[in-house]
Structure 1
Amino acid sequence: MTAPVRILIVGGGYVGMYVALRLQRKLRRGEARITVVNIDSYMTYQPFLPEAAAGNVEARHVVVSLRRVLNKCEILNGWVVGVDPVARTADLCLHQGPGRTLEYDILVFAPGSISRTLPIPGLAESGIGFKSVEEAIHLRDHVLAQLDLAESTTDRSVRAKALSFVFVGAGYAGVEALAELEDMARDVCRYYPTVDPGDMRWLLVEATDRILPEVGPEMGRWTLEQLRGRGIDVRLGTRLNSAVDGHIVLDDGTEFDADTLVWTAGVKPNPLVHTSGLPLDDKSRVKASADLIVEGFPHVFTAGDCAAVPDLTKPGEMCAPNAQNAVRQARTLADNVVATLRGRARRPYRHAYAGSVATLGLHKGVAQIYGRKLRGLPAWFMHRTYHLSRIPTVNKKVRVLTDWTLGLFFKRETVSLGAISDPRQEFELAIRTEARVPSSR
C-alpha cells in the first residue's frame, strides 16, 4: 500500500488556509496528509481590522478557526525557524517545550509578511503596528482610554498628549485605520462633556506625495480632500525623525508630544525566507515561476506576500503583495499541487487587477472597480459587500452581517477593556495588599 504524500503548509494566513481548504476538498481519502503550521490557531481577515478597531464588528468575527475549517488537516502551533529544501525537512519551534523536525514530500511555503520598520529613535518603544486583531483591539481600547484620561485630567500637557494621534504610512492600513478610529472617536465625544472633536489632533504622515495609490491618483486626491475636510492633518512628503518618550519629531520641523503612534509604512517578507534555503530576489522575496513553483525546487510551492510571482498581465512585473492576489494564487497553487500528485500539467497564475475598495469611516468610502470610480456611501457599501463575500465560512459571514444589522439600530460599543492585556494586575494588587495588612487570624 502506498503511503500518503506528506504536504507541509508553512503559514496559516490567506494563502496557507485557502490552499489547505481547497486541498482537503479536492484530494481523495488517503491520497495525502496535510499539515499546517501557524503561530496562532486562526486566520485573520485583515480587511475587517479597521471595522473591528472602530467597534463596528466583533473582534472574534474577523478571525477564522483553522482547526474548525481545516478538520481534515493536522494543525500545529508554533514557528518554523528553518527549512532544508534539499533534505525536505523543516524545524518547528513550539510555544513551550522542545521543538520538532517535520519531514515533507511537498512544501507550500507561505509565511506571509511582517511590518517594515526603520531604525527611528523611539519607534520600537512607542509605536504599534496594524496587522493583527490583537493590535487592532489594543489600539481601539487605547484610543478610548486616552479620551478617558483627557476627560479626567486637569493638566493641559497631559491632555494634549492624550488627544494627539499619529499614523505613519498612507496606504490601505494607515488610511483605513485612521479614518475608522477618528470616526469612532468623534462619535463617542458626546459621552465626554469636556472633550470636543476639535480638541483631538489626528496626523497622517506619508513620505511620498500621494495617499492610497491603489485607488488611483484621482480617487487618492479625493480621499485627501475628505480627510483634510474632517480636520485630519495629512503631511505628504514628510518623514518621522524621532519618537523618543512619545515626543514626535518630523523632518519638516514639527515637534509635539503624542501618546499614540501607529506604524503602517509598508510590509516586508517574513524573516523566515532568509533561513529557508530558497532563492530570493533583491526584495527578499522567494523566486517563483508563474505556476507558483520555487525556482530550482519542483517540490516547493509559494505564493502571497513572501513570493515574487511573475504578473502575466503585465510582462516584466511581479504580482502585487495584496490580499486579492494571495487568495487567487492560493486556488491556483492548490490545483497545481493536485495536478503534480496526479501527473497532470500545472497551469500558470494569471489574474487581471479587479480594483480596490477602502473604508473611510461609517458610511464613507472610496473605490475603483474595473475602472469605475465610486466615492462616499456607494463605495462604502461596495467595500462591505465585497469583503462580506470574501470572508471565509458562512458562519463568519452571518456573524459579521448580524453585527452590521445591529449597528443600524444601536450605537457602537464604546467600552475600553484595556485591562484585558494585563489580566493578572488586579489579582497581583490583591496579593500585595494582603501582604501589607497584618493578619487577624
Structure 2
Amino acid sequence: MNKRILIIGGGYVGLYTALGLRRLVRRGEVDVTIVDPRGYMTYQPFLAEAAGGAIEPRHVVAPLNRLLPGMRVLTGRVTNVDHDARRARFEPVRGPAYELGYDIVVLAAGSITRGMPIAGLAEHAVGFKTIGEAVHLRNHVLGQLAAAASTDDPAIRRRALTFVVVGGGFSGVEALAEMQGLADDALRYHPRIERAELNWTLVEAKGAILPELAPELGVWTIGALRERGVDVRLNALLTSAADGVAALSDGTAVDTGTLVWAAGGRPSPLAADSGLPVDAIGRVKATAYLTVEGIPDAFAAGDGAAVPDLTRPGEFTAPNAQHAVRQAKLLGRNLVAYLKGRSLKEYRHAYLGSVAGLGHHQGVAQVYRIRLTGFLGWLAHRAYHLAWVPTFNHKARVLADWALSGLFRREAVQLGGLEHPESDFQEALREHVKAA
C-alpha cells in the first residue's frame, strides 16, 4: 500500500515540501494530502507592497491546487492530531469535521499572530499577517484620507490622519513605510490635506528596530523614518487601545483612526494541543534531521519548529522565510530517504542576511558582510525577494507590477466596499421596506 503523507500547513514549508515530493517521487508511490485554512501560500515579504499598492494582491499568493496537481489539497483546519492512531481531526470550511488517516505527518502549521490582553486591541487594531489584512489596510488608509478631506471637524480630521504601528520588526517597519508611501502619493488627490497633517508613530518595546540586521542598519532606518516625519518610540509598550486611543507605557496617548498590530507571532498551538513534544514557547521539538524529537513518522520545520542551528551550537534557526524554504527543500529529500530506508541529512545553513524595504525607493540590506542603505538597499530588497517568489509565473507578474508602478502613479481608489459587498444590497432592502 502507498504511504499516506499528511502535510499540515500550506505556507513555505508545506508548499516546498510538497513540491519536493512531486519532483522526487514517482506518481503513485505516495498519497500526499496538504491541509491549509486558506488553500493558498502567501509570500509574506510582499504583504507590505500589496498594502502600499505596488503589487497586485493576487500576485502575492499562490493557489496550492494549481501548484500541486495530483495531490489532495483540503481547505480547512486540522484541530487535533492523534499520532498513536495516525489520525488527524479535520474541520473543512463548510460541513462537519471528519478524520484523516495518515502514515507520516509533516507539521508545517507555522505561526499565528501573537495577541496580548490589552484593552481595546481586538476592537480597534488590525493585524498584518494575511493578504486580507494587507488589502484592508490599503483601503483603510485611503478611506481615512477621504474622511479627513470630507469633514470640517478638526478632531475627526486629526484622528483620521493619525496612524500608529506597533512592532519594530520587518512586518511593522515595512507596513508603516509602505502605508506612508501610499498616503503621500494619494495626497495629490486631496488638495485640502497638507502632508504635515499626517501623523505616523512606530512603537517598539525594545531599544532597537529590525533586530535581525546589524545594529547600525537599524539606527540608519530610525534616522530615515524620522526624516520622513515618523515618530519612532523605542522602549515603549502599548498598554491600552480603548476607544481607539493608543496609550503607551511612556505616558503618551495617541488618538488614532488606524492602529496596526505587528508585534510578532507565536507558534501554532496545534502541536501542544495534540500532545506532541514542544519547547517553552510552544515550538515542536525537532532534530537537525527535521524529524520530531522522539516521535517516529513525524517531521516538522519552519516557524513552528525548534530546529537546532548547527552553524551556531546551542541556538535554533530563526523564524524567517530563508530558513523555512531551505528546510522544506531538505525535508522533501529526507522524506524520500525515510520512505526508502536511507539515511537522512542534517539541516545546516549559515544565515545569509536580511533585507527590508522602506518605500520611497529606500531600503536596507545585509548580505554576509555587505551592508546597503537607501536606493541600493531598496534594489537589493526587491532582487532578494524576487528570487524567492515561487514559480516563474508569479515572478513575471510581480516584475510587471513593479514596471507599471515605475511608469505610472499607483492607483489611489478606495475599494472598501469589496470587504462588505452585501451592505449596499441590505441597505437597498431596508429602504424598500421603509417605502412600503
Q: Give CA-to-partner distance per residue, 1:58-107, whole Å, 9 cap, x none.
A: 00000001010001210011110000111111000111211110010110
Q: Which residue of the partner structure matches residue 318 of structure 2?
A: 320
Equivalent of residue 411 in structure 2, options 393, 410, 413:
413
Deviates most, 401-410 or 350-359? 401-410
CA distance in structure 2 between the aligned counterparts of 1:109 and 1:263, rounded to whole angstroms:
26
Q: Which amino acid aligns with 1:42?
A: Y
Contact map agreement 2:185 2:410 (CA 8 A) in 1 = no
Aligned pair 1:239/2:237, yes or no?
Answer: yes
Q: Which residue of the partner structure matches residue 2 of structure 2?
A: 4
Identity value in percent: 54
CA distance in structure 2 between the aligned counterparts of 1:154 and 1:271, rounded to whole angstroms:
48
Aligned pair 1:280/2:278, yes or no?
Answer: yes
How far is the alpha carbon of 1:191 from its aligned partner? 1.0
Q: Which residue of the partner structure matches residue 202 of structure 2?
A: 204
Q: Which amino acid aligns with 1:394?
A: F
Q: Which residue of the partner structure matches residue 333 of structure 1?
A: 331
Q: Which residue of the partner structure matches residue 168 of structure 1?
A: 166
Q: Give CA-to-partner distance per residue, 1:145-198, whole Å, 9 cap, x none.
A: 000000001111101110110000100000000011111111211111111111
Q: Which residue of the partner structure matches residue 65 of structure 2?
A: 67
How far is the alpha carbon of 1:302 from its aligned partner? 0.2
Q: Which residue of the partner structure matches residue 371 of structure 2?
A: 373
Aligned pair 1:384/2:382, yes or no?
Answer: yes
Q: Give CA-to-partner distance per residue, 1:257-284, whole Å, 9 cap, x none.
A: 1111101111100121222221011111
How far is the alpha carbon of 1:362 from its aligned partner? 3.2
CA distance in structure 1 between the aligned counterparts of 2:159 and 2:36, rounded to whole angstroms:
38
How far is the alpha carbon of 1:213 from its aligned partner? 1.0
Q: Which residue of the partner structure matches residue 93 of structure 2?
A: 95
Counterparts of residues 210-289 of structure 1 (less than 5 Å): 210-289=208-287
Q: Which residue of the partner structure matches residue 362 of structure 2?
A: 364
Q: Which amino acid aligns with 2:421?
A: P
Q: Which residue of the partner structure matches residue 30 of structure 1?
A: 28
How far is the alpha carbon of 1:256 from its aligned partner? 2.8
Q: Which residue of the partner structure matches residue 180 of structure 2?
A: 182
CA distance in structure 1 between the aligned counterparts of 2:117 and 2:370, rounded to whole angstroms:
40
Q: Which amino acid aligns with 1:82?
A: N
Q: Which amino acid aligns with 1:318?
A: F
Counterparts of residues 48-67 of structure 1 (less than 5 Å): 48-67=46-65
TM-score under structure 1 length normalisation: 0.98
CA distance in structure 1 between the aligned counterparts of 2:31 and 2:366, rounded to whole angstroms:
41
Q: Which amino acid aligns with 1:391?
A: V
Aligned pair 1:404/2:402, yes or no?
Answer: yes
CA distance in structure 1 between the aligned counterparts of 2:274 and 2:232, rounded to whole angstroms:
40
CA distance in structure 2 between the aligned counterparts of 1:180 and 1:256, rounded to whole angstroms:
21
CA distance in structure 1 between the aligned counterparts of 2:80 and 2:360, rounded to whole angstroms:
44
SS in 2 for 1:374: strand
How far is the alpha carbon of 1:298 from its aligned partner? 2.1
Q: Which amino acid aligns with 1:241?
A: T
CA distance in structure 2 between the aligned counterparts of 1:47 and 1:73, rounded to whole angstroms:
27
CA distance in structure 2 between the aligned counterparts of 1:175 and 1:318, rounded to whole angstroms:
24
CA distance in structure 1 between the aligned counterparts of 2:276 and 2:309, rounded to whole angstroms:
20
Q: Which residue of the partner structure matches residue 426 of structure 2?
A: 428
SS in 2 for 1:194: coil
SS in 1 for 2:10: coil
Q: Which runs of 5+ in 1 are unaligned?
A: none
Aligned pair 1:13/2:2, yes or no?
Answer: no
Q: Which residue of the partner structure matches residue 135 of structure 2?
A: 137
CA distance in structure 2 between the aligned counterparts of 1:68 and 1:411, rounded to whole angstroms:
32
CA distance in structure 2 between the aligned counterparts of 1:357 and 1:414, rounded to whole angstroms:
27
Q: Which amino acid aligns with 1:401?
A: L
Q: Which amino acid aligns with 1:377?
A: F
Counterparts of residues 97-116 of structure 1 (less than 5 Å): 97-116=95-114
CA distance in structure 2 between the aligned counterparts of 1:48 and 1:253, rounded to whole angstroms:
34
Q: Which amino acid aligns with 2:241?
A: A
How far is the alpha carbon of 1:143 from its aligned partner? 0.4
Deviates most, 138-147 or 404-413? 404-413
Q: Which runs of 5+ in 2 are unaligned?
A: none
Q: Which amino acid aligns with 1:27?
A: V
CA distance in structure 1 between the aligned counterparts of 2:406 and 2:157, rounded to whole angstroms:
33
Q: Which residue of the partner structure matches residue 155 of structure 1?
A: 153
**CA RMSD, 1 decimal:** 0.8
Q: Which amino acid aligns with 2:75?
A: N
SS in 2 for 1:180: helix
CA distance in structure 2 between the aligned counterparts of 1:29 and 1:141, rounded to whole angstroms:
44
Provide runs of 4+ in structure 1 moved above 2 Å. none
Contact map agreement 2:90 2:99 (CA 8 A) in 1 = yes
Q: Which amino acid aligns with 2:194?
A: D
Deviates most, 164-173 or 24-33? 24-33
TM-score under structure 2 length normalisation: 0.99
Q: Give CA-to-partner distance per residue, 1:110-148, whole Å, 9 cap, x none.
A: 101011121111111111111000000100100000000
